[in-house]
Amino acid sequence: MNRSLTSRFAWKRRLNGVLNWIFPSDATTCAICGRPAFTVGASSHWPSQSENSRLCAFCVQDLERCQVAVERHALQVENAPDRRIDVYSGIDYDAFVRTLFRSFKYDGVIELAPFFAHVLFACWQTLDEFACDCIVPVPTAADRIRKRGYDHVRLLAERLARHVQLPVRPALLRVPRGGAFTQSQTAKNAELRRRELAGVFVPNSRRPIVGRRALLLDDVATTGATLAACANALFASGANSVIAIVAARVR
């Protein structure tokens, strides 16, 4: 079973597939907008690898128009040898991309994983061939995974790993705060994010990172606070180097 999906979410999707086979419908709806859909085949921009990916022609067209333009910027990281790491991002977090991420993260539309993995692959292609030897996904809070049914960042990391032939190494764990449900970081400013993320990411003793060249992966970079906190934890755990890639950037 895919480690990025909870058993409940995976079985729910399988059950829906069985019900659709037993009670076929003439109209298959798009996973994003609900309009009549078709099974996505190979695209010149992002080949879908799932036969269950069903998107309408309009949404596919919108995705095709989403131009990938990889950008690099420096992020201040206290524990880094140069006190900075490079962060590579693929697309702007505009209104359309925000809608896509909301569907992907909160509405169970994992059919969008191939598109975002394509964007991350474009970022990876700009790196030196031997810059990294493992992919470290930014850990998602356990309560979020239980509620959504899947770990969207781990899902992207595993898909990218198959393309670039690198192992996924969950070298970080996310420590819950006070037993409360994890709050979204979206509307918080940089300073508040940094304070609230202090001590949240800790080393995973079962997946040591000592001497490794880590490719830190996340979905969106807003202030960079999450990436910085994770990078600091990786360097403190003995990582030799850290480079970060994200699908989208908030300007």
What is the pLDDT, as a whole number, of residue 155? 96
pLDDT of residue 123: 97
For residue 73, which phi and psi values (nearest 5 degrees)? -145, 155
pLDDT recorded at residue 34: 78
What are the Cα distances from residue 199, in Å, to 135, 146, 171? 21, 22, 15
Res. 19 pLDDT band, cuts 50 70 90 = low
The identity of residue 246, as a single letter, is V
Question: What is the maximum span of the chain, computed from C-alpha positions, in angstroms?
Answer: 60
Residue 238's region, left for phi above 0, alpha for psi from -120 to 50, else beta, is left
- Give residue-wise pLDDT tens across range 168-203: 999 999 998 765 545 555 556 677 877 888 889 999
- 172-174/201-203 β-pairing: antiparallel
Q: What residue type is assigned to position 51 of the chain?
A: E
H or E element that contains 22: helix 7-22
Q: Are strands 134-137 and 213-221 parallel, antiparallel or unpaired?
A: parallel
CA distance 57 to 251: 29
pLDDT in tens, 93-134: 999 999 999 999 999 889 899 999 999 999 999 999 899 999
Q: Summarize pLDDT for 134-178 with one digit per residue, the tens.
A: 999 999 999 999 999 999 999 999 999 999 999 999 999 999 876
Residues 33-87 have pLDDT tens digits of 878 776 555 454 555 444 345 678 888 888 888 889 999 999 999 999 999 999 9
Residue 223: φ, ψ to 5°: -100, -15
- Write down the pTM of the prediction: 0.84
Question: Residues 7-35: what's their mean pLDDT?
Answer: 71
d(CA 39, CA 25) in angstroms, rounded, equals 14
